[in-house]
Structure 1
Amino acid sequence: MSLVSLEDRARSSSGGAMRLVSEPGALRRLAALVDELAPTGEVVLVADLTAKTVDGGDVDARVQAALPAGRHRRVVRVPAGAHGATLDERTVDEVCGRASGAAVVMTVGSGTVSDLGKVVAATLGVPLISVQTAASVNGYADPLSVLVRNGAKRTVPSRWPDVLLIDHDIVAEAPLALTRAGVGDAVAIWSSPADWYLACALGMDSALYGSRFVDPVRDLAPRLADETASEAERLASLIDVLTVGGLVIGDAGTTAPLSGVEHLASHVLDMSAIAEGAAHDLHGAQVGVASVLASALWDVALEDERLFDLGPTDFVVPDDLEGRVRAVWQPVDPTGVLGEECWHAVEAKMRRWVAAGPQIRAFFTHRREHVTTLRVLAGDPSLPAAALRVWGAAVAFSELSPPVPPERARWVLSALPFMRDRLSVADLFVLAGRWDDRLFDRVFARAAATGGGLGV
């Protein structure tokens, strides 16, 4: 499926098609786009506190200079804490209030700012223009936002941008760490679709798995590992992979096609750092490292553990599950708030498991066909590892900034099934009574064989 056909299917909350403007010098088209969406009224720019430059000039200033002459504009800066901008309840409410009165909202900056702008524009009921300043995540091009609720990362519906403007000249000058983070977000395609397929096939996802939500990204992803491509060609490929990824997420109505075990690991790292007041790396950087680990987990599930050779009656909800969920979060949040939030999510997931008995039995009746598909979708950690290396991105936990020590990395793996209500292969290990240190040793060893895992 082409980028154009996916764009045609993208819809904003107002019912019109999301317009994608992706090219060098795209900023020159901004004035006409603003006048088209909101001929009169105030333009409110939502931006973070991070300085961004292009050709030696400030990006925020360049954006303001590109607005229609004479239009009143106001800049709303997103408050930042120790972890930068955190989209918790207080921040979202504050920015929505400060943006009140806007005729059009424009976001300039990171994926976090983009997510916030979607919520602000949806709340105010005004058009949204998203000016992407880095190829760091695929979330610019989807109608969802990742917010923090009771300390836990949650993906919620928000809205499409009316215009997604990607000026390749600006993106090319983004910090290399952001671009590498984008590669990390992109390589999830070699693990996440398997988790979504599994959930759909077991009756644990209300959606129906469709290759049309996966193949467009899988077709583009090998270009990320092309060592013969020029720097500009590789960047254009990364922009395409991330943008198509966002569009297919929006088309599917869920992040599940591109968000499996590897995204769980990144969210767990974020949540623990927020709870402890500690630093953590960029989302995409963490996803890239975790994609190698997730592929290794799938490889172990399919080859070493032969997880799908078991029968449906071998998967049982543990009697002590609530205690295990609360215990895993207790070290990072002794208040129990985070454990309570995560238990509600896990409890809902297990209620669905119990109710999905007929679909689960049908899955195991046709296990051979399902396992064949799962082998195609995941299980080769060398694929994400190779792409990450081409870009000089982190492959192992020790290569993140700050480095994640071995004991924390093992804890992250242990916490994966105890965080949200979406089923993954990790949940099957829990239900089979195999989610333990013996398994973790195998998974980290498999990841280490490609340079990933714990690292040095």
Structure 2
Amino acid sequence: MTLSSDLDHYLTHPLVGLDQVVIGPDVLDSVRDIVAALPAHNNIALLTDEDEYTTGSGTFLKPAVTGLLETLGTVTKVVLPGHVHADEATVSAATAGCEDADVVVTIGSGTLCDIGKVAAGNRPHVVVQSAASVNGFADDQSVLLINGVKRTAHSGWPSALVVDSNVLEGAPALLNRSGLGDMISMFTAPADWYLSSLVGMDRGFSAEAATMTRRHGAELLGLAEGVGASDPDSLATLAKFVTLSGISMGVAGQTSPSSGMEHVVSHMLDMANAARGKDTAHHGAQVGVATVVVAILWRKMNERLCAGNIDTLRLPEAADAERTVREAFDWMDEAGATSNECWSDYSKKLEHLRWVDAGAKIREAAGSWPAHAEVLSGLLGAPEDIVAALRAAGAPTRFSELENPSKEDDVIWALTNCHLMRNRFNIADLAYLTGSWTKTDVLAALSEAERIGAGL
């Protein structure tokens, strides 16, 4: 099946609550038709930020959408100030601003959409994408900041997405390149999900959801140059990718089809920058850079498992593990809220791994690893190919090339400690618990990334 036919097919999936997706040139007017068709639309909340968006032809996006909606009823603008983060205070302010609306219309990128999903609740929610920057538009989950920690929470499906390729063309190129970076995670995240199924932490691994976008991986890589040049047709295809990727997370009931170790590293860097009072890098761009390092770690661990050259998985005692978690996160806030949140999740992971005797499960899997490696060959991507695509798009391949780069020490910290943040199992967990993810190993992976044009 083609990318477009897959998208059409999965929009009718019984687990998908997204009713309508409109992607293409000159489709902005469909916002009015979509809202007009709703049973109630007299009171419309327009949720957005302070940024100014223009189309490729120079039309200002927010006034254009406002004008369309004002023909249907009363429009209340809910404008979130400054550099918007999905923290508790911002989400509460958005929810309060939208509480009297019949329908919520969100204009913006990924964070705005995540907030809009929460603010809309059970009411219709129409999203006008300002860029193809992330894959989180088309699912029922939101990435929120809870006690300073990035957490994924179930929220609500948007009712409709409107993605005008002329709007995407007018977006800053780095945002659409960020969307490519977010999609690059398809070359590591599904493998992490498969690995987690071997220790029973997958909440239901689905080969269908894992490969919905991955099977179109070659097309994504070939799209890179056009995305970098802001070609409208390439951007429209990228929008289909990020939409299908979001739907795959809805089908899976979790973000695992597109979120593995590479996303955790990005979240860790965001947390570190926030703790230091610094602006964060664009999410997808950061994910793309991290994916290169994760692909290198996966190749190393896959080779060791195929050769039967892997140490026994050893789980730390709870007291030792808590000490490690707190040493990793206590610096982030004086009250210890961040380390408390991380220990709460990591302790649950350790309890599960003990309960299922994860060591025995990994030994059993290692004994038949060639069969697992065959499955993984359809999920993993070569780090060299990832670097080539990012470079073709003009996207960062090194952490230092990000718009708001993290300190080198923070990058090493994030890679070394990413397995300690949440209750999921990925390749960093396996490497760490088998003695293969020390700071020395992290530096070696970064050195290998440097050799192929990536890394720090």
Question: How does the TM-score come out when normalised to structure 2?
Answer: 0.92
- Contact kept? 2:117, 2:155, Cα under 8 Å: yes
Residue 330 of structure 1: SS of its match in structure 2?
A: helix
- Contact kept? 2:168, 2:232, Cα under 8 Å: no
Change (3 A) 1:422 1:100: same
- Contact kept? 1:416, 1:426, Cα under 8 Å: yes
The residue identity in structure 2 corresponding to 1:186 is M
Gaps of 5+ in 2: none
Distance in 2 separating the partners of 1:205 and 1:143: 18
Distance in 2 separating the partners of 1:392 and 1:433: 36
- Contact kept? 1:10, 1:250, Cα under 8 Å: no
Distance in 2 separating the partners of 1:330 and 1:310: 32
Change (3 A) 1:171 1:38: farther
Distance in 2 separating the partners of 1:434 and 1:340: 26
Q: Does 1:193 align with 2:197?
A: no
Q: Deviations over 1:202-222 (max 9, x none)?
A: 212221231x21323123332
Distance in 2 separating the partners of 1:370 and 1:338: 36
User: What corresponds to 2:119 in structure 1?
Assistant: 120
Residue 57 of structure 1: SS of its match in structure 2?
A: coil
- Contact kept? 1:192, 1:256, Cα under 8 Å: yes
1:260-409 aligned at under 5 Å gives the runs 260-303=260-303, 309-310=309-310, 314-319=312-317, 320-357=320-357, 359-360=361-362, 362-378=364-380, 380-409=382-411
- Contact kept? 1:31, 1:68, Cα under 8 Å: no
The residue identity in structure 2 corresponding to 1:233 is D
Distance in 2 separating the partners of 1:305 and 1:360: 10
Shift of residue 184 of structure 1? 0.7
Q: Deviations over 1:314-353 (max 9, x none)?
A: 1121232111111111333343211111011111111111
Shift of residue 376 of structure 1? 3.8
Distance in 2 separating the partners of 1:109 and 1:374: 36
Q: Deviations over 1:74-99 (max 9, x none)?
A: 0101233xxx1111112111211121
The residue identity in structure 1 corresponding to 2:322 is E
1:199-210 aligned at under 5 Å gives the runs 199-210=196-207
After TM superposition, the structure 1 stretch with the greater mean CA deviation from structure 2, 139-148 or 402-411, is: 402-411
User: What corresponds to 2:220 in structure 1?
Assistant: 224
| Structure 1 vs Structure 2 CA RMSD | 2.1
- Contact kept? 1:213, 1:249, Cα under 8 Å: yes
Distance in 2 separating the partners of 1:402 and 1:294: 21
- Contact kept? 1:224, 1:234, Cα under 8 Å: no
Residue 141 of structure 1: SS of its match in structure 2?
A: coil
Q: Does 1:86 align with 2:85?
A: yes
1:151-162 aligned at under 5 Å gives the runs 151-162=148-159
- Contact kept? 1:348, 1:421, Cα under 8 Å: yes
Shift of residue 107 of structure 1? 0.5
Gaps of 5+ in 1: none
Shift of residue 256 of structure 1? 0.4
- Contact kept? 2:23, 2:240, Cα under 8 Å: no
Distance in 2 separating the partners of 1:198 and 1:100: 42
Distance in 2 separating the partners of 1:330 and 1:89: 21
- Contact kept? 2:272, 2:410, Cα under 8 Å: no
1:113-262 aligned at under 5 Å gives the runs 113-122=112-121, 125-210=122-207, 212-226=208-222, 231-262=231-262
Q: Does 1:9 align with 2:7?
A: no
Distance in 2 separating the partners of 1:371 and 1:393: 30
User: What corresponds to 1:109 in structure 2?
Assistant: 108
Shift of residue 251 of structure 1? 1.0
- Contact kept? 2:35, 2:41, Cα under 8 Å: no
Shift of residue 261 of structure 1? 0.9
After TM superposition, the structure 1 stretch with the greater mean CA deviation from structure 2, 225-234 or 320-329, is: 225-234
- Contact kept? 2:148, 2:271, Cα under 8 Å: yes
User: What corresponds to 2:66 in structure 1?
Assistant: 64
- Contact kept? 1:225, 1:390, Cα under 8 Å: no
User: What corresponds to 2:418 in structure 1?
Assistant: 416
Distance in 2 separating the partners of 1:279 and 1:68: 35
The residue identity in structure 2 corresponding to 1:208 is F
Distance in 1 separating the partners of 2:179 and 2:221: 13
After TM superposition, the structure 1 stretch with the greater mean CA deviation from structure 2, 252-261 or 65-74, is: 65-74
Shift of residue 228 of structure 1? 7.5
- Contact kept? 2:98, 2:120, Cα under 8 Å: no
- Contact kept? 2:269, 2:414, Cα under 8 Å: yes
Percent of aligned pairs with the same amino acid: 34
Shift of residue 431 of structure 1? 1.4
User: What corresponds to 1:439 in structure 2?
Assistant: 441
Residue 310 of structure 1: SS of its match in structure 2?
A: coil
Distance in 1 separating the partners of 2:396 and 2:238: 16
Distance in 2 separating the partners of 1:42 and 1:307: 64
User: What corresponds to 1:98 in structure 2?
Assistant: 97
The residue identity in structure 2 corresponding to 1:263 is H
Residue 101 of structure 1: SS of its match in structure 2?
A: coil
After TM superposition, the structure 1 stretch with the greater mean CA deviation from structure 2, 278-287 or 301-310, is: 301-310
Change (3 A) 1:90 1:403: closer
Question: How does the TM-score come out when normalised to structure 1?
Answer: 0.92
Change (3 A) 1:70 1:189: closer
After TM superposition, the structure 1 stretch with the greater mean CA deviation from structure 2, 23-32 or 351-360, is: 351-360
Distance in 1 separating the partners of 2:308 and 2:101: 54
Shift of residue 62 of structure 1? 0.5
- Contact kept? 1:301, 1:307, Cα under 8 Å: no
- Contact kept? 1:264, 1:416, Cα under 8 Å: yes
- Contact kept? 2:165, 2:232, Cα under 8 Å: no
Distance in 2 separating the partners of 1:403 and 1:89: 25
The residue identity in structure 2 corresponding to 1:160 is W
- Contact kept? 1:202, 1:363, Cα under 8 Å: no
Change (3 A) 1:10 1:26: farther
Shift of residue 359 of structure 1? 4.7
Distance in 2 separating the partners of 1:378 and 1:403: 27
The residue identity in structure 2 corresponding to 1:59 is L
Distance in 2 separating the partners of 1:9 and 1:146: 23
Residue 244 of structure 1: SS of its match in structure 2?
A: helix
User: What corresponds to 1:41 in structure 2?
Assistant: 42
